[in-house]
Amino acid sequence: MKRYELIVIGAGPAGLSAAIEAARAGMQTIVFDENAKPGGQLFKQIHKFFGSKEHKAKIRGYDIGDDLLREAEALGVKVVLNATVVGIYEGKEITVMIGDGITHYKGDAVIVATGASENMVTFPGWTLPGVIGAGAAQTMMNLHGIKPGHRVLMLGTGNVGLVVSYQLLQAGCEVVCLVDAAKRVGGYGVHASKVTRTGVPFYLGHTIKAIEGDGKVEKVTIAALDDTWAFIEGSDMTFEVDTVCLAVGLSPMSQLTKTAGCDMMANVPVTNGYGETSVPGIYAAGDVSGIEEASSAMIEGRIAGADAAYQAGYLTEVAFKTIVEANEASLDQLRQGMFGPDERGKVQTTTDEGIALSTTLLEKGYLAENEIGYFPGVETRQKGIYPVIECTQNIPCNPCQDACVKGCISIGDKITSLPVVGENIDCTGCGLCVASCSGQSIFLIEEKAEENIAYVSMPYEFLPLPERGDRGLALNRSGEVVCETEIIKLRSSKAMDKTNILTIKVPLDMAMKARFFKPLTEGGAKNA
């Protein structure tokens, strides 16, 4: 039986971060993961992360995954893939199934970073081929390059449902709608807006009534719910789809900690401030110890790894406390704001700044035009080019501030503050803020009153990439066509990391309406 100073179970963001921190201190570390590829869910995340620079904001999930793997490798961490931990026993002994054999390992410390699994919800037809988890859609599109289907209905408007819906659009699928039994969108408003501006409707207060088809999904019927969760008579809507995606929440996969005898609160292992469970030497980090974000998982992993190293004598108390304090401060930042763990369950009505939250955003997934003027990032100006930041909820995120070399945008020390576009700004229209906004909520406006037109620049992450001169339709925030338009400019650069900046020409009075570009279909007036 091979003994390791630290055994980490799970090579996702929490597990790898824990291994890196422990190995950096000198611990002999091994990581087991049951999958063929490491990184957990990270490599499926093709969007830019939120937070601040230390949280790897504005960096796409798979790049963060690559960074973690490189760091782990450089520190000599052994990562064993296709290795399933099938048992955990007294004395922190585990059995690992690799290939067609079992090997016993013993750890001085064990960090359980096994993540979470998807929740289930049932309805007639839920077992038909074509009903898949949102994670399945991500795996198929982003790891294997295959569309899960052509026409998809998404159930769930938490961040997973919102993000995967956008990814389905990027993969060329048609998303017929998003549905949620809740009355309000569960995830970030900016994630929802990315989807609604393309024309996808949200049906809150609805759920799936039935899925039908001959041997596979062919159509789905949804209906509205009353206050007793019963279907409202006459509210049925049927859509022809070939895929239904379920994004109804995650639950920790905590069987290992349960079997190991750790104190549990429901199915979550109880941990102290350093990730240690009630069984000395066994830690839990990442989603397994409570569902949050990958950014939080990485920090929790680092804290647990540091504690294991400290307890093993590889870190002095001073060094340990320094690491923990820095990480705790970082974690604390991520837990602030409207979607933080302390705010869960509360019905919010205003931002920290006292501005009324957009109820349209919460109930329909897009900002109403008459609501946006109240936010500090939005102010129309007559002269020159200027950014309009339609970021209206307090979430920990600040890459826009750093992106502007002219200091036009400020957020301040509290990274959940709404971004403010200054009074007398010197915007050069470089577009870096547009590209660095992970929520894709920044636009550049340039009014040309003499010509009665305006140029609107927006982030664009779809194929085919339009070209200068292409004609198309401008859509507003809720995806309605507001006018015909033409592409004036298309900018792409390495610094923008695959977020293209599209500039369209619209009538002057459309400057604060046009927020998305839809190319005319084949046979339309292209380059007319």
Partner 1 sequence: MRLNEHPILGTFEKGDLVTFEFDGKAMEGYEGEPIAVALRAAGVMTHRHTMKNNTPRGIFCAIGRCTDCVMIVDNKPNIRTCVTPLVAGMKVQTQYGVTADADAKA
Partner 2 sequence: MHKRLDRSIDLGPYVAGPDDDMIICRCEEITKGEIRKAVHEGMFTTTEIRRFLRTGMGLCQGQTCGNLVRRIVATELGVSVGEIEYAVARAPFRPIAMKTLANEVEEG
118 contacts partner 1 (rule: CB under 8 A)? yes
According to DSSP, residue 112 is labeled E
- Closest by CA to 182, choosing from 343, 364, 395, is 364
CB of 28 to partner 2, least distance (A): 13
Binding to partner 1 (CB under 8 A) within 11-40 occurs at 34-36
Among positions 91, 144, 317, 344, the unique one binding partner 1 when judged by CB under 8 A: 144
CB of 208 to partner 2, least distance (A): 12
146 contacts partner 1 (rule: CB under 8 A)? yes
CB of 135 to partner 1, least distance (A): 6
CB of 123 to partner 1, least distance (A): 14
Give CA–CA dist 76/72, Å, rounded. Answer: 6
Pick between residue 34 and residue 174 the one whose CB is nearest to partner 2.
34
Pick between residue 103 and residue 139 the one whose CB is nearest to partner 1.
139
- Closest by CA to 12, choosing from 2, 35, 23, 1, is 35
Give CA–CA dist 27/13, Å, rounded. Answer: 19
Give CA–CA dist 203/365, Å, rounded. Answer: 9
Q: What b/e readout covers 220-235, taking b as 16+ CB neighbours within 10 angstroms? A: bbbbbbeeeeebeeee
147 contacts partner 1 (rule: CB under 8 A)? yes
122 binds, among partner 1, partner 2, none (CB under 5 to 8 A by kind): partner 2
CB of 221 to partner 2, least distance (A): 15
- Closest by CA to 423, choosing from 386, 470, 474, 473, is 386
Residue type, position 345, single letter: G
Pick between residue 30 and residue 192 the one whose CB is nearest to partner 2.
30
State the residue for tokens 């008459």.
370
Give CA–CA dist 501/435, Å, rounded. Answer: 7
Which of these ranges, 2-10, 140-148, 183-191, 451-459, lies near partner 1 under the rule CB under 8 A? 140-148
CB of 113 to partner 2, least distance (A): 15
Mask of contacts with partner 1, 491-510, x by CB under 8 A?
Answer: -------x------------
131 contacts partner 1 (rule: CB under 8 A)? yes
130 contacts partner 1 (rule: CB under 8 A)? yes
Task: Give the Cα-Cα-Cα angle 309, 312, 313 (nearest 5 degrees).
Answer: 90
Among positions 87, 124, 129, 373, the unique one binding partner 1 when judged by CB under 8 A: 129
248 contacts partner 1 (rule: CB under 8 A)? no
Pick between residue 127 and residue 521 the one whose CB is nearest to partner 2.
127
CB of 49 to partner 2, least distance (A): 28
Residues 6+ apart with CB under 8 A from 426: 406, 408
**Which residues here bind partner 2, judged by CB under 8 A?**
2, 34, 84-89, 95, 97-98, 100-105, 117, 119-120, 122-124, 126-127, 251, 255-256, 258-259, 266-267
Among positions 17, 114, 142, 289, the unique one binding partner 1 when judged by CB under 8 A: 142
CA-CA distances (angstroms) from residue 429 to 86, 406, 435, 500, 526? Answer: 56, 10, 12, 14, 27
Pick between residue 137 and residue 224 the one whose CB is nearest to partner 1.
137
Taking a C-beta distance cutoff of 8 angstroms, is the pair 137, 249 a contact? no
Which of these ranges, 145-153, 197-205, 379-387, 412-420, lies near partner 1 under the rule CB under 8 A? 145-153
Pick between residue 124 and residue 341 the one whose CB is nearest to partner 2.
124
Give CA–CA dist 517/490, Å, rounded. Answer: 12
Residues 6+ apart with CB under 8 A from 495: 432, 435
410 binds, among partner 1, partner 2, none (CB under 5 to 8 A by kind): none
Give CA–CA dist 487/298, Å, rounded. Answer: 41
Taking a C-beta distance cutoff of 8 angstroms, is the pair 114, 253 a contact? yes
| Residue ranges binding partner 1 (CB under 8 A) | 34-36, 46, 60, 62, 117-118, 127-133, 135-137, 139-142, 144-148, 170-172, 215-216, 461-463, 465, 498
